[in-house]
Structure 1
Amino acid sequence: MKQESHGRDERGVERDARATGASAGAAAKDAGTPDGEDRARGRISPIRPRPFPGWLYGVLFVLFDIAAVAILEVGVSLGASSRVTLSSPEVGWDFVGKMFNVREPNFVFLLNVLLVGVLYLALLMVFNRFWIATPVLIAAAIVVAVIEHFKISIRYEAVLPSDLNFLKADAGNLMGFMPAGAHWVILAAIAVFAVFVAVFVALDRLDARRGRLFRGSDRQTRSADAVARLLLVLVPGLFFGLYAMQVSTVGSWAKGLATVMGDKPSMWDSVYDAQRNGPLVAFMRQVNPKVMDKPSDYSEETMKQVVARYEKAAKDINASRKSSLTDSTVIYVLSESFSDTSRVPGLKTNKDSMPRIRQIKEHTTSGLMLSSGYGGGTANLEYMGLTGLSMANFDSSLTSPYQQLVPGEHWTPTINQMWGASKNSIGLHPYESSMYSRATNYKKFGFSHFYTLTGPDVISHQDRIDDSRYVSDAATYLSTLEEVEKSDSNQFLQVITMQNHMPYHGWYKNNDFTAESTTGTPLGKDEQESIETYQKGQAITDEATADFLDKLDAIDKPITVVFYGDHLPGIYSSASEDDDNSLALHLTDYFIWSNKASSSQGEKIDGAAYSSPNFFVAQAAEHMDAKVSPYLAFLTLMHEKVAAMEPPVVNKIQGWDRIPEGQAIYLDSKGDPMAESDFDQETKQLLEDYKLIQYDITDGKNYLKDTGFMTLP
């Protein structure tokens, strides 16, 4: 018994010795590292990695998703803060804070989180490693944010889908677009990313799963995992793709989702739009705008027939005309918010605020212009005037051609191009060049210079009147005169004024204009102040415009001016309450005038009582007795049948959602509305041809481009 006990004791000691030896060996192995030495001395307790539970991955997914959205928002916000702007307020934390607005909650921040999250989920499934996919997402967000910052700093314009075309065509010159101090921004971005990487590495060390989301242990499980991953790539990808393709189409589920979540397009200013609605939401809205329905008979053969039809019409028209449009300098003056206050229903004023322009209209081609806007939409009227195309032909999803259409067009014919070399096309606008992406678009239109407050070509005269924040019309006209006088060539000048832009807050001293209601309900205090301030500004414009024409009269070269108000100011809240006032609140004043050196001074053409800006170039040619291209011949015939045309209109300040249903507004030569169903066969043919022409130029295959359709004889 004693021997057996002794044997067991010996075996026990032997086992203990082996265990002790193993521990000592491990300790010796660990002692080769600093951590091992510390643990051997009892300083640090080893932290064993544990597999992260699924719920923790979910929490981290949301946090890093929000981080990516925040990085994108910081990119546009910092870029905007580096530029002093006049047009838009800074959004700042309101991008998130407006979710908690009790009166009008807005969840566009969550829409951005949803869209980024969809991409994030697809990345996770592709890599199947949380700690690889997440750095890729954050890196992409930082790169995009830096690009946004650079572009906004240089051009005060957010990244647009059309910029992808630039990457294809001119990617090698990207370094030339770096602003001053770009290296500091890049270093800061790298530092931020390094911090994120440190966090990811630490979390990866703590996670025994090493971020692996699917861990099949046998062939059957691995096959099921592969199918699940594939579905979780395809489904988010399909959602994102369908959203991108449909969010710009009125009536689509994607447009409905964006609207419900609080997307409020602010497309006059791409930077403000990106800040207000999030860079990704603002970008996606412009990826695939629906321009217009493809005409059922659109083809190269059909367009050849259209060309032949209006080549013959041009020949007939030109047989009796003697001059050329480009033998004169032509100046388009878009006068901001200019209209006759005395025509506003239910309003009485103490005196006439436009007596001199009223007299000018009596002695030259003039009338009323049907505007698609009320209180806004300037760039759309401007676009129609420069192209001869009509917003009435576009799908209601296309709210702003300057943002949604022009940047991506391969061919953009505009009337200034008839004057030949770009040096003969000059634009002037005493405000920010970035508004409506004008700086980019005017370059594409073929203008050699576009003079604004923010450059790169800075307008020479910038005087304001009393307390007004806007450059006066007199100063804008003086800058225009200098451009006319210093050129020996005939030119096309596009002038967009700002003096009468809203708001209107008692800017002018010694204002003796008054307004009152004739409906029995007094005007509100704010409405009355706005109207009376606007009247004073209108009277100042009246004087400045007449003085401008007097100075043009003294210049010894033929000059023709096309002057028009783009829309009524959105200040007539009493009149706008009555839906029957819609048409009256969309009629502004226009005239076509020629100086003494022109053979067409005092000319008054027939059928000018009503018009819309798409017809101005054809009317100017008729006023000047100038020969026309097939395109201008078409516009001439179209205007004879339909005096004015615009999309459906409403008597409220219009945002960036057009009326999705309802007939376009067509007026006859007396200003009476026309029903499309009542058009005669010739008018129907002209309207069908208009849609074919407009589709080919904007969304088709440009069959007209090399046909001479736009070429003057």
Structure 2
Amino acid sequence: MKQALRTIAKGVTIVEFHLFLTTLLVMVIHLSIFQMNIQEQIDWIQANTRVFALILAGVFLASLLLARYSLRFFTYISSSTKRTRLTSVLAIIFSSILSAILVNFFFQIANQLFQVDAAIDWIQENSSIFLVSSIYLALFALGLYLLIGNVHVTHLLYLTVGAGLAYAHYNKMKFRSEPLYPSDFNQIAHVGDVIPMISEYLSIGLLLLIAAAIILLAVLIPFLPKGKMVWWSRLAVLPIVAFLLYSFTYYESTYANKVIDKMEVSLIPWNQVQNYKTNGFVVSFLYNMQGNQFAKPDEYDKKRVTDITKSLPLSGAYSTASATPGFKQSPNVIFLMSETFWDPTKLENLQFSEDPMPYIRSLMKEYPSGQILSPSFGGGTANVEFEALTGMSTSFLKTGTTPYQEMVTGQDPFPTIASTYKQHGYDTTAFHPYKRVYYKRPNVYEQFGFDAFVSKEGFEHTDKNGGKYISDAALTKEMIQHLEKTDEPSFMHVVSMQNHFPYDGKQYEEMRIDVEGLSSKYEPMMEEFAEGIKRTDEATKQLVEQLEQLDEPTLVVFWGDHLPILGSDKALYKEARFTEGKSEEQAEVLYHETPLFFYANYPIQKKELGTISPIYLPSLALEYSGTPKPPFYDFLSELKQDLPGIQKRIKLDEHGNILTKLPKKELALLSHYKLLEYDLLDGQQYTEEELFSQ
């Protein structure tokens, strides 16, 4: 067996050598005979792919005829210690560069959603960026070798990790239309929960083929030439490589910044999908590693923000809700953020056998209602609840930032709507029928002023009703039970889970809504999503009916966190022609609007809220519950009158119109808001006491 493996390993070594020889010969032929430069070679190869493949195969097969001479060559170079060391070092450097180019190519293919031609086009147009980013990746490969000491183990590991990162980036782009960010690795411990959600979309055959190749190479590694460097030389080179890696990783604060400038990189921080497509995966990923999630405004200082605070109007000057009648006791307040709740009948080219949300639609006609302009699409739930609980916009933050994981945990306590109600004698509890560890919620909720956090591990009602997650009906029972056993008024922040991705058509035994207008591939997906919305509608009716019987005034703020992932790269939306004929800005709004309504079992005035950002939910809730507002939330009421919709790329006026240019007043208000938020979230908190005083 060992002899057979040695024979195979020797064959692999010869193949490796002849692949290198083939590549070198073809490049020489192109350079010398056809007198092509690198750019022209790439153009020629792209235009003559089949011819190039035949040339490559022919040269490779011809070189194999010289196999016995290559064996003599190996014997010759191994006969001298000096020659062996030199060739080993050259082989290590060459293999590091080759692996880096290959991994970089993987990244570009993933960036272009596996469109190889588009990836090659990008490399042609951005050869300097590709070259520098490949050198950076080669430093990683070399550093890994210096730590491991075996060139084949190093590159097997390197290529496996590189391909894995590229595949993760591809899947995130495909499903959420969002690139892979460094912050995503904060949730790496939960990857086991994510894989089942996307397993239906993974190519099992491809994964098995890759796994088989990795196993085969792993078995052959002990029999392959080692390509060694003595330990002391590796130890001597390692600090140099580490220094170079650090310099380029954090280029904004090192000399490497000059290299990046010479590359003429055009960063597009406000549109990260375009940023990755324009500048490539490596440069864009590194940009998002620079920290500085909230860039310090130039005009920020203590005097400026305290002057803004002093200029704020008296509390109550900008209330937009009708005054609530006097209560014998303060009303309970429930923030109910419904996972992926969206109105599928907005896909007007489809036909539904029945309305999936008739009860909620009736509530929206009777009570204050509108649409939430979500900061996220297909995911990013934590950023939506961050806005809703704090009144602070993620539009000022670097795209890809998750404040729960990167910013909030440094402040304790952190002012929120929960801490405001707590100051008024409320019991404050957060509910989420899933695992408690996501997004650092236990720590964050504690800092936000919650007395308790109840995850699925603490739920008494765990019925799934045929679904994959705890149902909204079970969640309703949990909420009512908490209200019944709590003596003081309650503020409850509830994040549901029932309608979470994926929608594979296999979740429910019975789907009661038929959908027409889609291909057979997507009809089951939409029917399953519609069934989930119908079940949420039924659970909402159950909640309201029980609150009507409850001898306690209660306010419910209900909204969907984001639209669903329906097929890769928004495939179902595209097939249904959801944004057909719309501008890019109009499509952006459509992909971020979810239903919103306020319900109360006491009289509140019906009001059309339009499309608003989650940042305004705290101020509205305080008004509808008759609770005095701290100055910060009163300021948000003022801001809402002029800019009800604030997203990174979109601003909406009170009529829902997209503002292409902000008027002077709105610009000033937005500037004040940004300064105050920076001070509270990432600055010195000069204004916290004043802004949240009662």
TM-score range, shorter chain: 0.5 to 0.7
Distance 1:584 1:492, change over 3 A: same
Equivalent position of 2:674 in the other structure: 691
Aligned 1:135-214 pairs, distance under 5 A = 211=233
Q: CA shift at 1:54, angstroms?
A: 3.3
Counterpart in the other structure of 2:395: 392
Matches within 5 A, 1:159-558: 211=233, 235-242=244-251, 250-251=267-268, 287-310=289-312, 312-314=314-316, 327-395=330-398, 397-408=399-410, 412-420=414-422, 424-453=427-456, 457-466=457-466, 468-506=467-505, 507-516=507-516, 522-558=517-553
SS in 2 for 1:608: strand
Please point out which of 553, 558, 563 is paired with 1:568.
Answer: 563
SS at match of 1:471: coil
Note the C-alpha offset of 1:374.
Answer: 3.4
Task: State the alpha-carbon separation in 2 of the partners of residues 324 and 112 from structure 1.
Answer: 64
Report the secondary structure of 1:463's partner residue.
coil
Report the Cα distance in structure 1 between the residues aligned to 2:333 and 2:454, rounded to whole angstroms.
Answer: 17
Residue 629 of structure 1 corresponds to 630
CA drift of 1:332 comes to: 0.7
Paired residues, number: 519
Deviation string 1:670-709 (CA, Å, 9 cap, x unpaired) is 32323433x352x33321211111221223222123x331
1:420 aligned counterpart, secondary structure: helix
Query: 2:296·2:678 contact (CA, 8 Å) conserved in 1?
Result: yes
2:684 equivalent to 1:701: yes
- C-alpha spacing 1:621/1:632, structure 2 compared with 1 (3 Å): same
Gap change, CA 1:111 and 1:331, over 3 Å in 2: farther
- Structure 1 residues 362 and 405: alpha-carbon distance in aligned structure 2, compared to 1, 3 A threshold: same
Q: CA deviation at 1:121?
A: 7.0
- Calculate the TM-score normalised by the size of structure 2: 0.61
Could you tell me how far apart the structure 2 residues matched to 1:239 and 1:554 are? 63
What are the Cα deviations for residues 129-168 of structure 1, in whole angstroms up to 9, with x where unaligned? x79999xxx9xx9xxx9xxxxxxxxxxxx998999xxxxx
Query: For the residues of structure 1 that align with 2:355 and 2:144, how far apart are their CA atoms?
Result: 66
SS in 2 for 1:560: strand
Per-residue deviation, 1:406: 3.0
Secondary structure of the 2:250 match is helix
Distance 1:405 1:579 in 2: 39
Instruction: Provide the C-alpha distance between the structure 2 equivalents of 1:98 and 1:363, rounded to a whole number of angstroms.
Output: 48
| 8 Å contact from structure 2 (residues 332, 490) kept in 1 | yes
Q: Which amino acid aligns with 1:452?
A: S
Q: Going by fraction, where is helix more abundant, 1 or 2?
A: 2
In structure 2, how many angstroms separate the alpha carbons of the residues matched to 1:567 and 1:471?
Answer: 19
Q: Residue 53 of structure 1 is aligned with which of 70, 79, 85?
A: 85
CA gap of 1:696–1:512, structure 2 versus 1, over 3 A, is same
Residues in 2 aligned to 1:263 and 1:698: alpha-carbon distance in whole angstroms: 29
Counterpart of 2:619 in structure 1 is 618
Task: Give the counterpart letter for 1:416 in structure 2.
Answer: A
- For 2:276 and 2:611, how far apart are their aligned partners in 1? 38
Distance 2:443 2:433 in 1: 16
Identity percentage of aligned residues: 24
Q: Could you tell me which residue of structure 2 aligns to residue 676 of structure 1?
A: 661
* 1:578 matches 2:584: no
The structure whose Rg is larger is 1
Cα distance, 1:635 vs. partner?
0.8
For the residue of structure 2 that corresponds to 1:588, the secondary structure is strand
Alignment pair present for 1:593 and 2:564: no
Which amino acid in 2 is paired with 1:639? K
Aligned equivalent of 1:666: 652
Deviations 1:264-289 (A, max 9, x none): 99xxxxxxxxxxxxxxx99x787533
CA contact (8 A) 2:366 2:606 kept: no
Question: What secondary structure does 2:527 align onto?
Answer: helix
Deviations 1:391-428 (CA, angstroms, capped at 9, x unpaired): 33334x34433344334557632211113389933221
Q: 1:237 to 1:511 in 2, by over 3 A?
A: closer
RMSD value, Cα: 5.3
Question: Which amino acid in the other structure matches residue 594 of structure 2?
Answer: T
Query: For 1:211, what is the secondary structure of its paired residue?
Result: helix
> Are the equivalent residues in 1 in contact too, given 2:579–2:590 (CA < 8 A)?
no
| CA 325–123 in structure 1, closer or farther in 2 if over 3 Å, else same | farther
Q: Could you tell me which residue of structure 2 aligns to residue 42 of structure 1?
A: none
2:43 corresponds to which residue? none
What SS does structure 2 have at the residue aligned with 1:708? helix
Partner of 1:608: 609
Task: Answer yes or no: is the 8 Å Cα contact 2:407–2:681 preserved in 1.
Answer: yes
State the AA in 1 paired with 2:437: S
Whole-Å separation in 1 of the counterparts to 2:690 and 2:297:
22
Secondary structure of 1:334's aligned partner: strand
C-alpha spacing 1:575/1:257, structure 2 compared with 1 (3 Å): closer
Distance 1:430 1:690 in 2: 34
Distance in 2 (alpha carbons) for counterparts of 1:575 and 1:236:
46
Label 1:567 to 1:352 Cα distance change in 2 as closer, same or farther (>3 A): same
Q: 1:561 to 1:117 in 2, by over 3 A?
A: same
Q: Supply the distance in 1 between the matched residues of 2:148 and 2:328 (Cα, whole angstroms).
A: 64
Give the C-alpha shift of residue 211 in structure 1. Answer: 3.2
Query: Is the partner of 2:430 in helix, strand or coil?
Result: strand
Give how far 1:605 is off: 5.6
Contact 1:605 1:622 in 2 (8 A): no
1:235-264 deviation per Cα after TM superposition (whole angstroms, max 9, x unaligned): 554223317999999548x99998799859
Deviation at 1:629, TM superposition (A): 0.7
* Residues 111 and 444 of structure 1, relative CA distance in 2, 3 Å threshold: farther
Q: Deviations over 1:275-324 (max 9, x none)?
A: xxxxxx99x78753343443332211111112112253557869988879
What amino acid is aligned across from residue 54 of structure 1 in structure 2? L
Aligned to 2:642: 641
> CA–CA distance in 1 between the matches of 2:234 and 2:358?
78
- Retained in 1: the 8 A contact 2:411–2:447? no
CA distance in 1 between counterparts of 2:368 and 2:115 reads 51
SS at match of 1:616: helix
CA distance in 2, matches of 1:551, 1:433: 27
Structure 2 regions of 5+ residues with no counterpart? 1-78, 100-105, 121-130, 162-180, 187-226, 567-572
Q: Give the direction of change, closer, same or farther, for the CA distance of 1:116–1:133 in structure 2 (3 Å limit).
A: farther
